[in-house]
Structure 1
Amino acid sequence: MKADISNFEDIVLFVDSFYSKVKEDELIGPIFDAVITDWNPHLAKMYDFWNAVLFGIAGFKGNPFARHAPLPLEKPHFERWLILFNQTIDEHFSGEMADETKKKAGMMAEMFLSKLSHMKGGSDRVIV
């Protein structure tokens, strides 16, 4: 049985593992590569982001939506992001917090896609 997500080290594990998949992905990898030249600051920001989201630990600063709004993102990108994210969580963890992490990621993807679609005058929903 896999352990549940319980601390910052677990966040580092899933963030690093997830973004290694993202970098290799033919659909979403190029979008990230176009805007991230040094992955270390991005990964550190993601550790802080998920630490705040999951454990309420202060430290994340930024506006994630504003960073994503100018990117050429559409429904398939969010669906792929969620597939890779959920696969990563399932590979490493099992339990209530792992399930909650996947749920929060799904809600974020849905919200981002909804806001982006609204900005472009349309409506789209993530189906995963």
Structure 2
Amino acid sequence: MKKEIENIEDIKVFVDDFYTRVRTEELIGPIFMENIEDWRPHLDKMYAFWNAALFGVHGFRGNPFAKHAPLNIGRPHFERWLELFYATIDEHFEGFIAEDAKKRAELMASMFLTRLQQLNGNSDRVIV
């Protein structure tokens, strides 16, 4: 039975499942695998990110866009990322916070894509 996302333990469920899917996905998986050597710090950062985004809990530090700017990624990558994210959320959760997580992911993907396009292929000029 699906439930609402209520706490950090629920966040860990969707983050862990999502990145398990990402690692084996043929379009975006290789990009993640080439750029993340140790998954534990990345997952811990994602738990903190989503805990801050969904529940306002302090603890996330970082500049996600700066990490993505040097990567050779575009619209198809963000579309596939969103498909996997939505599927992961929908498999485990329902309700207001689950829908909010999907909306926030969509906004983040849109913002990242727009900012990457503003770089005009120049990944050395990071917009922060």
TM-based fold match above 0.5: yes
TM-score (norm 2): 0.93
1:23 and 2:39 aligned: no
Structure 1 letter corresponding to 2:91: E
Q: Give the fraction of aligned pairs with identical amino acids, expressed as a percent.
A: 61
**Matched residue SS, 1:16:** helix
**Distance (Å, rounded) in 2 between the aligned partners of 1:62 and 1:99:** 24
**Matched residue SS, 2:114:** helix
1:120 and 2:117 aligned: no
**Distance (Å, rounded) in 1 between the aligned partners of 2:103 and 2:92:** 16
For 1:31-70, list aligned pairs within 5 A: 31-70=31-70
Write the deviation string for residues 90-127 of structure 1: whole angstroms up to 9, x where unpaired: 00001011001000000000000000011117xxxxxx
**Distance (Å, rounded) in 1 between the aligned partners of 2:25 and 2:108:** 20
Structure 2 letter corresponding to 1:76: P
**Distance (Å, rounded) in 2 between the aligned partners of 1:7 and 1:53:** 12
Computed over aligned residues only, the root mean square deviation of the Cα atoms, in angstroms, reads: 0.8
Q: How many residues align?
A: 121
- Tell me the CA shift for residue 71 of structure 1: 0.5
Structure 1 stretches of 4+ moved >6 Å: none
Write the deviation string for residues 44-66 of structure 1: whole angstroms up to 9, x where unpaired: 00000000000000000100000
TM-score (norm 1): 0.93
**Matched residue SS, 2:86:** helix
Structure 1 letter corresponding to 2:7: N
**Structure 2: 5+ residue stretches without partners:** 122-128
Structure 2 letter corresponding to 1:39: W
Structure 2 letter corresponding to 1:86: Y
- Tell me the CA shift for residue 2 of structure 1: 1.2
Structure 2 letter corresponding to 1:46: M
**Distance (Å, rounded) in 1 between the aligned partners of 2:10 and 2:70:** 31
Structure 1 letter corresponding to 2:3: A
Bigger mean CA offset, 64-73 vs 1-10: 1-10
